[in-house]
Structure 1
């Protein structure tokens, strides 16, 4: 599911920059660095590393902030806030917005590429 959520992040980045959802071409350098379980509270982030004529190269990260203790002595609703967020995955993705679909005048005027 991490890849699905990164796809959503990439879509938002493309909309903010070009005013269009884009086409996600693919990922490279995908690394899963810690396990993720059902019930974990995750945060997905991304930023644009490079802008081409029609493409965006984005960096994505996934962090775990809260996990379930999986202790049968505790209530099923028990959860543990982690002392520090745990990096669970990172990747680079490429998205494309064809020139005719780029609507710079409808992009987010406050958006800045790193």
Structure 2
């Protein structure tokens, strides 16, 4: 799901719509990886990768290539049965790079102690992971027709 939010300023000083992406998924039992029925952090990073890919497709007409994650912080455990909402927001763009801020929150929580299929809606979403991603997109000299927002020269 993509939304267009308040405008942000481009490298040229122009106002452009903010680009965001959103996913909500249920974590399945098959994703339990560690003792205590914990899900590995790589599951959340895969969600982040999907968000970055969607954002670069929407802004550039190309999936791009994820170059790095930085400032990765795992803040709470994820278990099978939990529902995770992940959001990404484009915060910086240059000619070849896109920088996306990412967060994942637990919004529904499995309650295995209350029964095999018990779950609860959390009063407030719980941050489980945050990160910043940098992706690289191909430089196109002539065909910018597929891009929604042409990009300024890299700074």
Does 1:19 find its partner at 2:61?
A: yes
Greater relative contact order, per chain length (Cα 8 Å cut-off, separation 6+): 1
> Does 1:89 find its partner at 2:123?
no
| Equivalence for 2:146 | 106
* Structure-2 separation of matches of 1:103 and 1:49: 24
Matches within 5 A, 1:5-84: 5-71=47-113, 73-74=114-115, 76-84=116-124
Deviation at 1:26, TM superposition (A): 1.0
* Change beyond 3 A, Cα 1:66–1:54: same
Shift of 1:104: 3.9
1:112 matched to which residue of 2? Answer: none
After superposition, the CA RMSD in angstroms is 1.8
User: After the TM superposition, which parts of structure 1 deviate over 2 Å for at least 4 consecutive aligned residues?
Assistant: 100-109
TM-score normalised over the length of structure 2: 0.64
- 8 Å CA contact retained: 2:111, 2:117: no
Post-superposition CA distance 1:51-106 (Å, at most 9, x none): 011100110000100011121x52x2211110110011100110010113996422
Higher fraction of strand: 2
Over 3 Å counting, the alpha-carbon distance change for 1:20 and 1:83 in structure 2 is same
CA contact (8 A) 1:56 1:96 kept: yes
CA distance in 2, matches of 1:44, 1:103: 32
Gaps of 5+ in 2: 1-42, 150-155
